[in-house]
Structure formats: structure tokens, C-alpha cells
Amino acid sequence: MREDADQRMQFLLTLRRRGISDKAVLRAMDEVPRERFVEGDYLHAAYADHALPICCGQTISQPYVVAYMTEQLEIAAHHRVLEIGTGSGYQAAILSRLAREVVSVERYRTLAETARSRLAALGYNNVEVVVGDGMAGAPQRAPYDRIIVTAAAATIPQTLTDQLAEGGIMVIPVGPQEGPQHIIKLKKLQTAPGREPELVREDLIAVRFVPLLPGQAEQL
Ligand code: SAH
């Protein structure tokens, strides 16, 4: 128990030391039990600051990257957020503590179902996990105040920027599968009626993500 408390204190200290300063984000990172989202073999490393393997050859992202992307989203309590790449459900859990509602899309049914039951068991009832191709977004509920993609795209999918509300923010890792990837932050500016909305782009930190793949996964 004592060791657990030490590990979690260290976890938060590392995030702060690496520059995460948003209090609400730190609170969410403190509140969500990461050990509930990692696989049994990796329980000992649940609070270490690195990515870990999960089912279907995918990964649960590194805590620092989860906190960083969440901070960059500038979420307000009334926001509706779309996540592409549910994976373990951990990032969705963090988002659910900050936003009104989260819709998260995953192409592997197994991952989606596991994440859904983890989130329900923790009482995080404002998350809806959808099985499907996230490259198409989730148009039935669009537009979204915030969009986060947690798999690396070769280019920014226009389908997703189309589903971003005016004044909205999207963060997405962009780059080749085996090459340099960066978090890109896009802000959709409010425009006068009848004019095309403008996107302002900012290139942020270098990252390493599994690829955003087209279509729903056929197996698993
Ligand atoms: N956010 C996750 C990290 C998941 S890794 C977490 O907190 O654990 C990236 C995930 O994106 C993988 O589960 C992968 O299956 C999924 N993915 C990749 N391409 C996708 C697509 N087109 N639509 C939906 N999910 C996709």
C-alpha cells in the first residue's frame, strides 16, 4: 500500500517536472486508477512514465503524453469531446473527468468492449465507446468542441476537421509510421456566416504512436 502511494506521488511529480501545470488535468491524472487499464503482466509498471502493450498489438499511451495532449485540448466542463483510438480506455477516462461528454471510437471490438466495461465499473458514465473506423469520425454526433486522435496519421483527415465545431481544438499525432511524428494542434476559428472556417496549425512535441489504420478491424 505504502509503495503504491509512493509510486503515485512520483507519477504526479514526474508530470509536473515535465511541465504539466493545468490543475484540472493533474487532478484527473491523480484520480483515474491507471492500474485498471493495463494488462496483468504490466501491473508493476502501471505508474511508470512509458507506454505499455495492450491487446491486439496496440499500446496504452505514456502518461506524460496523455497529460500533455489533454492539457493542449483546453477542455471546459461543458465540452463534448471525440476521441479516435480508445485502446485501453485510459485517455477516455481522463477526458471524462474534464468534459461533459466523451465519444470514443475504436476499430478493434475486443478493445472497445474491454474499455467499455472498465469505464462502466469505475462509474465514468459520460463516455460512449463506439466500434468503427475513426477515420470517418462519428458524424451522427458532430460537431465536437474538441477532438483528440491517439494514433499517428500520415496526414490530417479532413473528415475529422469537418466534425470540429467553430472555435474548436483538435490534437493529433502526424507523421510516418516509422519516422518522426509530432503532435499537431489545430484551432478552428470562428468565421463570419457564409465564409469557410480557417484552421490555425501549431506543431508541438515529437512523439511515437501506433498508426491510425483505415477501416474496422476484421478480427478481434
Ligand atoms: N487512447 C488509447 C491509446 C490507444 S493506441 C489509450 O489511452 O489506451 C491507438 C488505438 O487507436 C489502438 O487501439 C488502435 O486500434 C486504434 N486505432 C487505429 N486506427 C483507428 C481507426 N481508424 N479508428 C479507430 N481506432 C483506431
What is the pLDDT of the chain when averaged over all its residues?
95
d(C-alpha 99, C-alpha 93), whole Å: 10
Query: Does domain 2-207 bear CATH number 3.40.50.150?
Result: yes
Judge if the beta carbon of residue 87 lies within 6 A of ligand 1.
yes
- What pLDDT score was predicted for residue 5? 83
Q: Where are the beta strands (DSSP E) in the chain?
A: 52-53, 59-60, 80-84, 101-106, 127-131, 144-149, 164-174, 181-188, 199-207
Residue nearest to atom 26 of ligand 1 (CA): 85
Interval 3-23: pLDDT, tens:
788 899 999 999 999 999 999
- What pLDDT score was predicted for residue 1? 56
Could you tell me the pTM of the whole model? 0.97
- Substitution candidate for ligand 1 out of 60, 128, 149, 212 with most atoms within 8 A of CB: 212
| Span from the CA of 111 to the centroid of ligand 1 (angstroms) | 9
Judge if the beta carbon of residue 96 lies within 6 A of ligand 1.
no
In the predicted model, residues of the chain with pLDDT beneath 70 are: 1-2
Judge if the beta carbon of residue 61 lies within 6 A of ligand 1.
yes
Question: Which residues does residue 53 pair with via DSSP β-bridges, in sequence order?
Answer: 59
Judge if the beta carbon of residue 136 lies within 6 A of ligand 1.
no
Residue type at position 131: V
d(C-alpha 75, C-alpha 68), whole Å: 12
Q: Strand, helix or coil at 24?
A: helix
d(C-alpha 97, C-alpha 103), whole Å: 13
d(C-alpha 46, C-alpha 36), whole Å: 9
Contact between 134 and 84 (Cβ < 8 Å): yes
Residue nearest to atom 13 of ligand 1 (CA): 87
Catalytic choice (21, 61, 96, 117)? 61
The three-state DSSP-derived secondary structure of 84-134 is ECCCCCHHHHHHHCCCCEEEEEECCHHHHHHHHHHHHHCCCCCEEEEECCH
Q: Is 61 a catalytic residue?
A: yes
Judge if the beta carbon of residue 135 lies within 6 A of ligand 1.
yes
